[in-house]
Chains A and B, each alone.
Chain A
Amino acid sequence: MTSVFEDFEQGQRIGSGPRLAAALTPVAPAEYPERLQSFYRSSNAARLSPDLRYSLFQANGLKLPKQEQNAWIDIFSLYWTAIGEITRFSDAPSSASWVKVFNAWKDLVNMIIRGYTNFGLQAWTLPCLYVVGKYLRIFAMKADTELASQDSGFGDSFQDDITSEFEKSAKLEEAARIINRMFTLCLSDRAPIEESRKWGVYNTTNLLFKTYFKLNSVGLSKNLLRALNASSADLPDLEAFPKSDIVTFKYYIGVIHFLDENYAEAEQHLAYAWNMCHRNARKNRELILTYLIPCHLVTTHTLPSKTLLAPFPRLEHLYRPLSNCIMKGDLNGFDNAMSAGEEEFVKRRIYLPLERGRDIALRNLFRKVFIAGGFDEPKDGQPPVRRTRVPIAEFAAALRIGTHADDRSRVDIDEVECLLSNLIYKGLMKGYIARERGMVVLSKNNTAFPGTGV
């Protein structure tokens, strides 16, 4: 049960960023629910500055350079104002407003940024920046929700078109711009690396990614990546950064590639995140797997095992029906499973890669045709060879079964050929179509369906 001032003092004395940042958290810890109120009531607007000077420094004999000391007093003044707005929610709900909280908190964030640029705050205090940034984003979203309930939808009248799309998250966009400045603040620090704010680069990047994803403007993330790449020479190795930052960063990079349908690259980054993710971070592991599984399906045509998904019932539920159908070559079941899960798939942005699983299901179905075709007559004591010339009509028949076609629906031979030609083109089948003879000629020597043993 520590007060704001104790956290501040301890943080400064032992040089612990996280401890210091605890002083700037706008949420009271469970064991001390009155902490914010008690801090807010410890002063009033008229006496704020001297009060803070006393509590932060004079009472405990903490010594900092004058400039830095004043910066902290300014920071805590703004923190005090913001806390005043926050505590209204419990003390005077009728006058409480998230927009006001956001605006007050924004002032605080700006002051902290200025603290680093102008008043010599040191790099080890960066967790303060992280904490205020994190809540800036949260308060912005709450403020937007609050505004949405009062909004007319028309912005300023200088636009040619209606702008409700953007107005909807005006505060979050504002937050994104400020967080972007936090990112630049870290990236552009030229101090020697030991005491550089560069160590905050990935943390702020992640926060910005999160915000851009929420704003549905993933495209902006690419500008960040460009900036990071441009100064990659000055940055320490990725491994040197805190693991939690790296795992999150890799996860987002993976998802960004994933959304661009660069599944091979996405897989690399996601696998990195997966391997480095803390084993008890179940939620994060589940998130990574959500995207890693479809990647794997597209790049290596493999399905998740039961053991892999055992700890994640949600993923098991999401992926198992599809996986079973793919394995069996059950096209009809696959289509049904896709439309049954469509809403969830689309929401998670995994519909498009999963859809490609149909190719694998189709491959498995056609593979059965090949196996059912049996062996050609063995010639003079040679080991038997599978029949490699398969009439297209047989694949068409398989397709009728696979799609549960009834008597009336016809399977179009041209379409069967098209499906075959696609499988061959994608390397899932080896061989060629001899159109004039209505035959598929498959490779011999167990290479007709690469990677499946036949």
Chain B
Amino acid sequence: MPSVSREEMETKLKSVITEAAESNTLDKIDWKTLPLPQVMIQNERNRVLASPNVSAWSAVPSQKHGSTPDALSKKRKSAEYNGDANGCPPWRQTNNHNTFEDRITYSPTDKRQRVDHKNSSKFKANLELRRKRFEDTRYGSSPSSRDDSPAPANQGPVVGRCQNLEKNYFRLTSAPNPDTVRPLSVLVKTLDLLKKKWKKDNNYGYICDQFKSLRQDLTVQHIRNEFTVSVYEIHARIALEKGDLGEYNQCQTQLRALYAQQLGGHPTEFKAYRILYFIHTRNWTAMNDALADLTPADKRDLAVKHALDVRSALALGNYHRFFQLYLDTPNMGAYLMDMFVDRERLSALAAICKAYKPDVKIRFITEELGFESDEQSARFILDNTSEDLLQEKDGAVRLLTGGRAGQLFEAAKADAHRIVDIKGQI
């Protein structure tokens, strides 16, 4: 074949054999029917030419291009990419098409190049496309792996073909492979399985991982319907139960977007959680947004109304009302309230110590601050201050109020609030 030089042909042949040897397929490949190396090279070239939007030269990565920081970092992250720029097969290097990029010489300090591209997502997308085309041709060079090459990234949804119910979560670093993505019909079964497993084993590490891969499969296939909503809702509830606020917050953010599209689910339940969550993280800016999101119908809902009342009771320092609400929390809101109830107890105690004289019965504290027993409230006071604040008088344990007690609780309160400041930033 005149267009393929002997040198190229030999290199190609060598690479095919090496690859086969490395993957232990030397004796499995039917060498008689395998195309000749010249034909392989020709095919590759044709494929490059035939693929839309690709001009031949851009399919060949230039050394220069591969060394831009952006491309490098992407490659490092990519699991599929197994070799750096210098690992190019030799035939690639000799087969010098003298690329456009090579001919233009930007000095590395020239801002022109960077300024133009840095903020253009389009450029990134192109880069990504180009990288994938590159992989296409690389993998294409060995017939045995031809099927493994990722589908051309056409930005459209993936259609999954995987039939396994379970799948571990991996963060995507390249376009998803349909063979490892489960279609909706499988995902529905997956959810059922996960629900059963959660009830039976209560293994959060496993469940969280599975739900993340489930969510990923939904996203890459652009599935956005009632099922999607229920997946996020269930994951959010499980995360709440386990106090995994980071994961819960991710689900919550997504749910907000999903509810905005009227896909069903339980919007008011989660709007209520959202308010409680922002009370916990004391994110007032976000709280304002959450309030602005509520419709008049939402506000009539029991759970939302409860959350709003909690918020307003705390805003006004009405601990009496707050703890009444705490003892009567709908749905799973109590998991969230548990996270800040102690903090609010300290605030209430600081106020009580300043307002009452000379003392109050421990019974009063137990009832006002929603403790389960006098022992529990006594324990709470001792844990946060010092023991001489509690005294027995006339057959009842009393909390000595006044200046010193006030200061101690004030300090404990400041402490508790500071800790949440850090947590809230997650």
Residue of A nearest to B360 (CB): A435
User: Contact between A110 and B116 (Cβ–Cβ < 8 Å)?
Assistant: yes
Residue of A nearest to B353 (CB): A425
Residues of B with C-beta under 8 A to A419: 318, 320
Of A18-26, A224-232, A348-356, A383-391, which binds chain B?
Answer: A348-356
In the assembled complex, B257 has its CB within 8 A of some CB on chain A: yes
In the assembled complex, B45 has its CB within 8 A of some CB on chain A: no
Choose one: A117, A216, A425; the contact of B111 (CB below 8 Å): A117
User: Contact between A418 and B319 (Cβ–Cβ < 8 Å)?
Assistant: yes
User: Contact between B220 and A157 (Cβ–Cβ < 8 Å)?
Assistant: yes
Residue of A nearest to B256 (CB): A165
Choose one: A110, A156, A352, A420; the contact of B155 (CB below 8 Å): A156
Of B10-18, B169-177, B187-195, B325-333, which binds chain A?
Answer: B169-177
In the assembled complex, A421 has its CB within 8 A of some CB on chain B: yes
For the complex, give the distance between the alpha carbons of A157 and B181 in Å: 12
User: Contact between B125 and A421 (Cβ–Cβ < 8 Å)?
Assistant: no
A349-B288, A418-B318 known; A160 vs B111 contact (CB < 8 Å): no
Chain B residues 282-341 with CB under 8 Å of chain A are: 284-285, 287-289, 291-292, 312, 315-321
Residue of B nearest to A359 (CB): B316
User: Contact between B320 and A415 (Cβ–Cβ < 8 Å)?
Assistant: yes
Residues of A with C-beta under 8 A to B368: 414, 418
User: Contact between A433 and B355 (Cβ–Cβ < 8 Å)?
Assistant: yes
In the assembled complex, A174 has its CB within 8 A of some CB on chain B: yes
For the complex, give the distance between the alpha carbons of A174 and B118 in Å: 11
Residues of B with C-beta under 8 A to A154: 157, 219, 222, 224
Closest Cβ of chain A to B231, distance in Å, is 11
In the assembled complex, A347 has its CB within 8 A of some CB on chain B: yes
User: Contact between B356 and A421 (Cβ–Cβ < 8 Å)?
Assistant: yes
Closest Cβ of chain A to B411, distance in Å, is 15
In the assembled complex, A422 has its CB within 8 A of some CB on chain B: yes
In the assembled complex, A178 has its CB within 8 A of some CB on chain B: yes
Chain B residues 90-143 with CB under 8 Å of chain A are: 111-112, 115-116, 119, 121, 125
A160-B212, A425-B355 known; A355 vs B350 contact (CB < 8 Å): no
Total residue contacts A-B, CB cutoff 8 A: 134
For the complex, give the distance between the alpha carbons of A351 and B229 in Å: 31
User: Contact between A160 and B360 (Cβ–Cβ < 8 Å)?
Assistant: no
Residues of A with C-beta under 8 A to B254: 161-162
In the assembled complex, A113 has its CB within 8 A of some CB on chain B: yes
User: Contact between B351 and A153 (Cβ–Cβ < 8 Å)?
Assistant: no
Residues of A with C-beta under 8 A to B253: 161, 165
In the assembled complex, B407 has its CB within 8 A of some CB on chain A: no
In the assembled complex, A398 has its CB within 8 A of some CB on chain B: no
Residue of A nearest to B401 (CB): A432
For the complex, give the distance between the alpha carbons of A451 and B368 in Å: 31
Contact with B along A419-444 (1 / 0, CB 8 A): 11110111000001111000001000
In the assembled complex, B364 has its CB within 8 A of some CB on chain A: yes
User: Contact between A157 and B219 (Cβ–Cβ < 8 Å)?
Assistant: yes
Residue of A nearest to B119 (CB): A177
User: Contact between A415 and B219 (Cβ–Cβ < 8 Å)?
Assistant: no
For the complex, give the distance between the alpha carbons of A159 and B157 in Å: 12
User: Contact between A110 and B115 (Cβ–Cβ < 8 Å)?
Assistant: yes
In the assembled complex, B215 has its CB within 8 A of some CB on chain A: yes
For the complex, give the distance between the alpha carbons of A152 and B223 in Å: 12
In the assembled complex, B216 has its CB within 8 A of some CB on chain A: yes
Residue of B nearest to A434 (CB): B357
In the assembled complex, B381 has its CB within 8 A of some CB on chain A: no
User: Contact between B119 and A178 (Cβ–Cβ < 8 Å)?
Assistant: yes
In the assembled complex, B352 has its CB within 8 A of some CB on chain A: yes
Residue of A nearest to B170 (CB): A160
Residues of A with C-beta under 8 A to B289: 216
Closest Cβ of chain B to A338, distance in Å, is 9
In the assembled complex, A337 has its CB within 8 A of some CB on chain B: no
In the assembled complex, A412 has its CB within 8 A of some CB on chain B: yes
For the complex, give the distance between the alpha carbons of A426 and B112 in Å: 60
Residues of A with C-beta under 8 A to B228: 162
Closest Cβ of chain A to B290, distance in Å, is 10
For the complex, give the distance between the alpha carbons of A170 and B124 in Å: 15
Contact with A along B201-242 (1 / 0, CB 8 A): 000000000001001100110101000100000000000000
A346-B288, A356-B315 known; A162 vs B356 contact (CB < 8 Å): no
In the assembled complex, B46 has its CB within 8 A of some CB on chain A: no
User: Contact between A162 and B119 (Cβ–Cβ < 8 Å)?
Assistant: no
Choose one: A117, A153, A260, A347; the contact of B224 (CB below 8 Å): A153
Contact with B along A96-127 (1 / 0, CB 8 A): 00000000001000100110011000000000
Residues of A with C-beta under 8 A to B157: 154, 157
In the assembled complex, A235 has its CB within 8 A of some CB on chain B: no
For the complex, give the distance between the alpha carbons of A350 and B356 in Å: 33
In the assembled complex, B250 has its CB within 8 A of some CB on chain A: yes
Residue of A nearest to B317 (CB): A422
For the complex, give the distance between the alpha carbons of A174 and B121 in Å: 9
Closest Cβ of chain B to A213, distance in Å, is 10
Contact with B along A249-272 (1 / 0, CB 8 A): 000000000011100000000000
A219-B285, A419-B318 known; A161 vs B250 contact (CB < 8 Å): yes
Closest Cβ of chain A to B317, distance in Å, is 4
Chain A residues 156-211 with CB under 8 Å of chain B are: 156-162, 164-165, 170, 174, 177-178
Choose one: B172, B173, B292, B356; the contact of A435 (CB below 8 Å): B356
For the complex, give the distance between the alpha carbons of A426 and B173 in Å: 54
- A sample of 24 inter-chain contacts (CB < 8 A) reads A114-B112, A118-B111, A157-B176, A158-B173, A159-B219, A160-B171, A160-B216, A164-B257, A174-B119, A216-B289, A219-B285, A352-B284, A352-B315, A355-B312, A418-B318, A418-B319, A421-B352, A421-B356, A422-B316, A422-B351, A425-B351, A426-B317, A432-B355, A435-B364
* Residues in B lying within 8 Å of A, measured CB to CB: 111-112, 115-116, 119, 121, 125, 155, 157-158, 171-176, 212, 215-216, 219-220, 222, 224, 228, 250, 253-254, 256-258, 261, 284-285, 287-289, 291-292, 312, 315-321, 350-352, 354-357, 360, 364, 367-368
Known: A110-B115, A421-B352. 12 other contacts (CB 8 A): A110-B119, A153-B224, A157-B158, A157-B220, A160-B215, A162-B257, A346-B288, A351-B288, A352-B287, A422-B351, A424-B351, A426-B317
